[in-house]
Amino acid sequence: MAVPAPNPDSGTPAAAELDRALRQALIESRQRLKELLEMACDFAWETDAGGKFSFVTSSGALGRSTTELLGQDPAGLTLSPEDGAHFQSDSPPEGRLVWARTVDGRPVCLHLNAHAVFDEQGEFLCVRGTCRDVTAEQERDSLLAAARHRERSLIRLFRALREAADPKAAIALGVETAAQATGAEAAALYLVADGRVGAALAGFGAAVAAGPAADQAIAARKPAWLAIDGRQVLAIPGENRGQVNCLLLVARGTDAADWPEDDRFLLRELTDQLAVAVAQAAEQEALARLSETDALTGLLNRRGFDSSLAKAMAAARIARLDGALLYVDLDNFKQINDRHGHAQGDAALKAAAELLRRSVRAGDLVGRLGGDEFAIWLAEVDGAEAKRRGEQLARAARDLQRFAPGAEEPVGFSVGIALLHADGAKSDAQVMELADRAMYQVKHGAKGGVALIDE
Q: Which domains does the chain have, with CATH numbers?
A: 41-133 (3.30.450.20), 148-290 (3.30.450.40), 302-453 (3.30.70.270)
Number of H helices, E strands in the chain: 12, 15
Return d(Cα 62, Cα 60) in angstroms, integer.
7
Mean pLDDT of 368-390: 94
Question: How many residues are there in the chain?
Answer: 455
Return d(Cα 347, Cα 4) in angstroms, integer.
125
Cβ atoms of 374 and 368 within 8 Å: the answer is yes
pLDDT at 302 over 70: yes
Give residue 189's pLDDT. 93
Per-residue pLDDT reduced to its tens digit, 159-176? 666 666 677 888 888 888
**SS3 for 289?**
helix
Per-residue pLDDT reduced to its tens digit, 107-162? 999 999 999 999 989 999 999 999 999 998 888 887 777 677 667 766 666 666 66
Query: Model confidence at 37, in pLDDT bands (50, 70, 90)?
Result: low
Q: Which of 11-25, 73-87, 237-251, 404-418 has the lowest mean pLDDT?
A: 11-25
pTM for this one?
0.49
Beta bridge partners of residue 109, listed in sequence order: 99
Average pLDDT, the chain: 86
- Strands, DSSP E only, in 362-411? 365-370, 373-379
